[in-house]
Amino acid sequence: MSQEAVLGQEAEEHHHGPDKGILRWVYTTNHKDIGTMYLLLALGSLLIGGVMAFVIRAELFQPGLQLVDPNFFNQMTTMHGLIMVFGAIMPAFVGLANWLIPMMIGAPDMALPRINNWSFWLLPFAFTMLLSTLFMEGGAPNFGWTFYAPLSTTYAPPSVTFFIFAIHIMGISSVMGAVNVIVTIFNMRAPGMTFMKMPLFVWTWLITAFLLIAVMPVLAGVVTMMLMDIHFGASFFNAAGGGDPVLFQHVFWFFGHPEVYIMILPAFGIVSHIISTFSRKPLFGYTSMVFATSSIAILSFIVWAHHMFTVGIPLVGELFFMYSTMLIAVPTGVKVFNWVTTMFRGSMTFETPMLFSIAFVVLFTIGGLSGLMLAIAPADFQYHDTYFVVAHFHYVLVPGALFSILAAVYYWLPKWCGRMYNESLGKWHFWLSFIGVNLTFFPMHFVGLAGMPRRIPDYALQFADFNAIVSVGAVLFGTSQLIFIYNVWRTTLGQKGIKATDLVWEKPEGLEWTALPSPVPYHTFQTPPKID
């Protein structure tokens, strides 16, 4: 039975529902099951990474060393970053891609369903390995999520070896997942769905997948070189042997900068859908959105050294990377303009997904503008390695990427499970998150500009008030996510909430709304839908 690939066979095989019990999830080849598992993994990681953030904020609530010793503090900042980037944001977007791309392009499933299952199940093993380092002798990695050499080579705790191999597993998973997405989009679109008719979420994911395939192997390369330096006497990052620690930063950020766009491009797709639906207008400037996304992706390969202005790169390098970075503001500006113009004179309503999306546009733009400030090489010497940088990337990742993921779940959940979430709980969740997120990250700009360094468990007295506010904000933001978890739980497993119509919203665009019932059946589009 398990051998049956069912092309050309009769309908019974097609209409089989999900299996019962745990094995359904272990053996599944269904894109919806796998998408759900990715999203649950992301939620679990968000909670674990969130607890680590609580430890960090508890320590920083007051000046002086309070709760944890500095080495453990460093482990917390490192693991918080790694878990949130590789465990929360990336798997959440892959989960959404799994759920949505086949439904949006009229495909029955992902192109390679078994590889899809493999990509997912590699991740729990990878994170088990990564988290197990917390209990090893010498503790978990403590060199920051960017693991700069020589902190991560000469001075690393012994557990770094397990960290390296955990990154390798995540890399295999990401590359296989990305290949799957690309093949699905290239080869599984329903007849008539040309590239320029594809929904923007599909477009942004196509470009994201390209970035993943291009840079994840480079990450694998850089951790392999670390392994060689640590255990086999190589000197890639050791100047005594003719290598260069700065070389590590170059290779890492050649991966790292496209990586940050991997974590934001799908978000652009999501908010484009949501803003259009709740403004009751087609998206303004679809074509320019596609080109802007592509330009951002291409530019992402030639801006990496803006993370390294202070390490002593040549002046011509500083200038090149400064100007190329500033260029990114142009396509990003096009996007923000298009979102605002889509809303302009639309008959807007403010359901929870729309609230999160509008907050995304405003707050992501703040994060983008602080990024522009950081791009100015001479000014960056002041900002570098301060809380200003922490404020910047949390603004693009939390009210940016994370808000878009929350918006996406609220927006598509009724389609997935057939019931509406509770709107007033959703609004509570939004407003508490909105206040919490700004309370947490906005004051970081001030203490950063005033010179508070990042990744240090103690600080000068003048930063005390702002840090106390930040910690309170973090607790508010963190705990208000419990409302979200309760809301999703009561809608799905709890079976509460009114039944959703097939369209769910008022005239949304896209095959997932117009061609499929709510809740969507276990298998959708066994034959291709018609596209006008």
Partner 1 sequence: MNTPRYYVPARSHWPILGAFAVFLTLFSMASIIHESSQGEVSLFSVSMAVVAGFLMLYMLFGWFSEVVNEGLRGMNSEQLKRSFRISMGWFIFSEVMFFAGFFGVLFYARTFSVPWLGGEGAKGVSGMLWEGFNAHWPLLKTPDMTQFQGAMGLIDAWSLPFINTVLLITSSFTLTFAHHNLRSENKQKTLFWLKVTLLLGVAFIFVQVAEYGHAIHELNLTLNSGIYGSTFYMLTGFHGAHVTLGAIMIFVMYRRVDNGHFTPEDHFGFEAAAWYWHFVDVVWLMLFAFVYVF
Catalytic: which of 32, 257, 419, 429?
257
Helix (H) or strand (E) holding 148: none
Pair 175, 214: CB distance under 8 Å: no
Please tell me whether residue 498 binds partner 1 under the rule CB under 8 A.
no
Nearer to partner 1 by C-beta: 227 or 531? Answer: 227
454 is catalytic: yes
Please tell me whether residue 44 binds partner 1 under the rule CB under 8 A.
no
What residues from 183 to 222 belong to the interface with partner 1 (CB under 8 A)? 183, 186-188, 213-218, 220-222
Catalytic: which of 31, 57, 168, 307?
307
Backbone phi, then psi, for 453, in 5-degree steps? -75, 150
How far is C-alpha 532 from the geometric centre of its chain's CA atoms? 33
Task: Report the alpha-carbon distance of residue 244 to residue 231 in Å, rounded.
Answer: 17
Please tell me whether residue 113 binds partner 1 under the rule CB under 8 A.
yes
Please tell me whether residue 531 binds partner 1 under the rule CB under 8 A.
no
Task: Report the alpha-carbon distance of residue 22 to residue 225 in Å, rounded.
Answer: 39
HSE, side-chain direction, 13 A CA sphere, residue 418: 10
293: helix, strand or coil: helix
Catalytic: which of 173, 204, 325, 342?
173
What residues from 403 to 462 belong to the interface with partner 1 (CB under 8 A)? none
What residues from 332 to 391 belong to the interface with partner 1 (CB under 8 A)? none
Please tell me whether residue 179 binds partner 1 under the rule CB under 8 A.
yes
Task: Output the smallest distance, CB 207 to partner 1, in A.
Answer: 14
* Piece in contact with partner 1 (CB under 8 A), picked from 170-178, 335-343, 448-456, 504-512: 170-178
Catalytic: which of 31, 306, 392, 445?
306
Burial of 385 (0-12, 13-18, 19+ CB in 10 A): middle
Task: Report the alpha-carbon distance of residue 339 to residue 360 in Å, rounded.
Answer: 11
Per the DSSP assignment, residues forming a β-bridge with 499 are 419
307 is catalytic: yes
Task: Report the alpha-carbon distance of residue 298 to residue 436 in Å, rounded.
Answer: 34
Please give the structure tokens belonging to residue 314. 């040549």
Pair 278, 349: CB distance under 8 Å: yes
What residues from 300 to 319 belong to the interface with partner 1 (CB under 8 A)? 312, 314-315
Task: Output the smallest distance, CB 417 to partner 1, in A.
Answer: 21
124: helix, strand or coil: helix
Task: Output the smallest distance, CB 309 to partner 1, in A.
Answer: 13
**Of the candidates 143, 254, 268, 459, which one interacts with partner 1 according to CB under 8 A?**
254
Please tell me whether residue 246 binds partner 1 under the rule CB under 8 A.
yes
CB neighbours (10 Å) of residue 165?
14
Nearer to partner 1 by C-beta: 22 or 196? Answer: 22
Nearer to partner 1 by C-beta: 169 or 275? Answer: 169
* Piece in contact with partner 1 (CB under 8 A), picked from 19-27, 391-399, 447-455, 478-486: 19-27
Task: Report the alpha-carbon distance of residue 430 to residue 14 in Å, rounded.
Answer: 40
335 is catalytic: yes
Please tell me whether residue 111 binds partner 1 under the rule CB under 8 A.
yes
Catalytic: which of 259, 318, 351, 380?
259
Nearer to partner 1 by C-beta: 250 or 280? Answer: 250
109 is catalytic: yes
* First CA to last CA distance, the chain: 38
Catalytic: which of 335, 392, 415, 429?
335
Nearer to partner 1 by C-beta: 11 or 461? Answer: 11
* Piece in contact with partner 1 (CB under 8 A), picked from 79-87, 240-248, 420-428, 480-488: 240-248
Q: Which amino acid is at 38?
A: Y
**Residue count, binding to partner 1 (CB under 8 A):** 92
Please tell me whether residue 19 binds partner 1 under the rule CB under 8 A.
yes
Please tell me whether residue 297 binds partner 1 under the rule CB under 8 A.
no
499: helix, strand or coil: strand
Task: Output the smallest distance, CB 36 to partner 1, in A.
Answer: 15
Please tell me whether residue 3 binds partner 1 under the rule CB under 8 A.
yes
* Piece in contact with partner 1 (CB under 8 A), picked from 41-49, 234-242, 401-409, 487-495: 234-242
332 is catalytic: yes
306 is catalytic: yes
Task: Output the smallest distance, CB 166 to partner 1, in A.
Answer: 8
Nearer to partner 1 by C-beta: 249 or 386? Answer: 249
Backbone phi, then psi, for 455, in 5-degree steps? 60, 30
Closest by CA position to 222, among listed 200, 205, 245, 201: 245
Please tell me whether residue 226 binds partner 1 under the rule CB under 8 A.
no
Task: Report the alpha-carbon distance of residue 196 to residue 287 in Å, rounded.
Answer: 7
Please give the structure tokens belonging to residue 107. 């495909």
Task: Report the alpha-carbon distance of residue 220 to residue 245 in Å, rounded.
Answer: 17
* String of contacts with partner 1 for each residue 124-163, x by CB under 8 A: -xx-xx----------------------------x--xx-
Task: Output the smallest distance, CB 82 to partner 1, in A.
Answer: 16
433 is catalytic: no
How far is C-alpha 473 from the geometric centre of its chain's CA atoms? 22
Nearer to partner 1 by C-beta: 26 or 65? Answer: 26
- Per the document, the length of the chain is 532
Pair 260, 486: CB distance under 8 Å: no
394 is catalytic: no
Closest by CA position to 42, among listed 379, 484, 350, 465: 484
Closest by CA position to 181, among listed 38, 364, 23, 78: 38
**Of the candidates 27, 155, 344, 381, which one interacts with partner 1 according to CB under 8 A?**
27
259 is catalytic: yes
Task: Report the alpha-carbon distance of residue 235 to residue 239 in Å, rounded.
Answer: 7
Which are the catalytic amino acids? 80, 109, 145, 173-174, 257, 259, 261, 272, 306-307, 332, 335, 454
